[in-house]
Amino acid sequence: MKEPVLNIKNAKVGEIELDDSIFGIAPKTALLYEIVKMQRASRRSGTASCKTRGQVSGTTAKMYRQKGTGRARHCDAKANIFVGGGKAFGPKPRDYSYRLPSEARRGGLRQALSLKKAEGKLIIVDELPLKEIKTKTMVDGLKNLGATNALIVIAEENDILRKSVRNIRDVRMVRWEGLNVYDLMRFDRAVITRPALEKVEEVLRP
């Protein structure tokens, strides 16, 4: 299938043939869900921590005598049932990350791209030319493309472009190697440069 290639002013400057095996497949929502869940789990810090009764500061003196009071037997006030005591079965630092098979991750990326293409939210641009760091120029260019909420995918690191985009709300820029399902689902539009698209197709082609 052919897709128009635009410039920053939203004028057509050419066409590109898209690979049907990447941009023309039916999306499986279950797989997209599993990949997004994996990515979000891997981003969790996992630093929540509580002190047990052995870690709480306090006296170890027995609260009252063992017998004759009619009350339950207790050792010290650091038990978890008392205010200021330790936490029973509380959270401890842990790693929440896990990995799905590589073929599942690649397949999910193909389906996310196909979904963007089917919804008409895939924008292919020839290039994003900037000679100086200028956020306003990028804001105006994205407005021309109808991509005020967008993921921008570029082929190579561009410091001028990165600094021009970093303060724009609802816009994120990644290199083609960093393209992922979560960001494709999170942003309304996907703006991909022609060189980046060629590299993505080369890697994702079955």
pLDDT, tens only, 21-32: 999 999 899 999
Count of domains for the chain: 2
DSSP secondary structure letter of residue 111? H
158 with 111, same domain?
yes
Residue 173: inside a domain, yes or no?
Answer: yes
Q: How confident is the model at residue 130 (pLDDT cuts 50, 70, 90)?
A: confident
Closest Cα to residue 120, out of 152, 147, 148? Answer: 147
- Of 152, 123, 118, the closest CA to residue 12 belongs to 123
pLDDT digit string, tens, across residues 141-154: 999 999 999 999 99
CA distance 198 to 203: 9
E strand or H helix that includes residue 194:
helix 194-204
Whether residue 80 is found in the same domain as residue 107: no
The predicted structure's pLDDT at residue 131? 87
Question: Is residue 46 predicted with pLDDT exceeding 90?
Answer: yes
Domain presence at residue 96: no
Q: Rounded to two decimals, what is the model's pTM?
A: 0.84
Q: What is the DSSP letter of 72?
A: -
pLDDT at 198 over 80: yes
114's CB contacts (< 8 A; 6+ apart) are 22, 23, 24, 25, 26, 27
Whichever domain contains 36, its CATH number is: 3.40.1370.10
- Residues 109 and 182 grouped into a single domain: yes
161 located within any domain:
yes
Same structural domain, 78 and 147: no
Token duo for residue 100: 């799905």
| Full domain range(s) for residue 158 | 2-43+101-204
